[in-house]
Amino acid sequence: MTIAKAHQIVVIGSIWGIKNIFHSLVAILTTLLVITTIYLTQDRGEKLSQKVNVSIDSLSSSKCDLFSGKWVFDNETYPLYKENQCSFLSDQLACEKYGRKDLSYQNWRWKPHQCDLPRFNATALLERLRNKRLVFVGDSLNRGQWVSMVCLVDSIIPSSLKSMQSIANGSLNIFKIKEYNATIENYWSPLLVESNSDDPVNHRVPERTVRIKSIEKHARYWTDADYIVFNTYLWWRRPLMNVLWGSFGDPNGVYKRVEMLRVYEMAMRTWSDWLEVHVNRNNTHLFFVSMSPTHERYTHISKGQVHHISLF
């Protein structure tokens, strides 16, 4: 068993905790380089990063660089929520419930060198989200970020004023805060474009196939959201992938095995083309989480029962 180390990602001044196992540093660095390259060589990528700069500037009155800082151990104001106080935490993520003893990973706080981030304030977040949709799109890592965000606001909302709904065969999960007419949602599409791993439950397919030109089946669920946080990385860790031009099940579809980095690049192009054409950036804020730590399943047997705990 590997114990996860604490790590976090900072986006728009709020912090979502993720635990971190750096397995293959080389692979991660390569991916980062590729994504950065894809981003910087495209006009649209530059427009996206400009949008991010604008949001960060408008949030921080001082000239504090939020991305330059360090992790500090804080057992006084952290953790931001207790596992047993969150009614929506799935068993898969409930480490404490299933006996994890080392919980200090919950105490790491991001501290920019030049300033202190304000402590997370659920009311302030909900006021910003009034009449808005915040959607996390991607793989299990982003699903974990979504659950964390739900847990961060859950405790301040009376149970009669919130609901959880699942649509699109479970691909879209919607946490609704009625008083604010706000939603915090999660859309499952681990490769962003269509693939044979799109079933939100049964997606452990050894041979991975991506429909490289197709994203609309997923995108129609998130295109109009106000804030979209994308991620995709873990599902690409294959040397080769099957690429499909055409539809699943269509005898005229063309399949080809292609080296992963090339497929990744094609998928990012399909994704960014969709954003370019369909998303109105005056209304929608876009974020992209590139490389990410992986997460592990820890199997633990107590009183004759087998428990699986995802460590992330």
Ligand X SMILES: *[C@@H]1O[C@H](CO)[C@@H](O)[C@H](O)[C@H]1NC(C)=O
- Secondary-structure breakdown of the chain: helix, strand, coil percentages, each rounded to the nearest 5: 30, 30, 40
CB of 250 to ligand X, least distance (A): 16
CB of 169 to ligand X, least distance (A): 4
Q: Does 62 bind ligand X (CB under 6 A)?
A: no
Q: Does 58 bind ligand X (CB under 6 A)?
A: no
Phi/psi at 293 (nearest 5 deg)? Answer: -70, 155
Q: Does 165 bind ligand X (CB under 6 A)?
A: no
Q: Which of these, 152, 233, 151, 136, lies nearest to 188 by C-alpha position?
A: 136
Q: At what angle do helices 260-278 and 43-59 cross, to 10 degrees?
A: 70
CB atoms within 10 A of CB 19: 21
Interface with ligand X by CB under 6 A: which range of 29-37, 91-99, 116-124, 260-268?
116-124
Nearer to ligand X, 86 or 125 (CB): 125
Q: Which of these, 266, 103, 95, lies nearest to 195 by C-alpha position?
A: 266
Q: Give the DSSP letter of residue 185.
A: E
Among 159, 282, 299, 305, binds ligand X (CB under 6 A): 282
Nearer to ligand X, 16 or 188 (CB): 188
CB of 204 to ligand X, least distance (A): 17
CB of 302 to ligand X, least distance (A): 27
Phi/psi at 185 (nearest 5 deg)? Answer: -125, 160
Q: Does 85 bind ligand X (CB under 6 A)?
A: no
Q: Does 50 bind ligand X (CB under 6 A)?
A: yes
Among 41, 280, 302, 305, binds ligand X (CB under 6 A): 280
Length of the chain: 312
Nearer to ligand X, 180 or 312 (CB): 180
Q: Which of these, 172, 181, 256, 167, lies nearest to 212 by C-alpha position?
A: 256
Contacts with ligand X, residue ranges (CB under 6 A)? 49-50, 53, 75-76, 121, 123-124, 127, 131-133, 168-169, 181, 280, 282
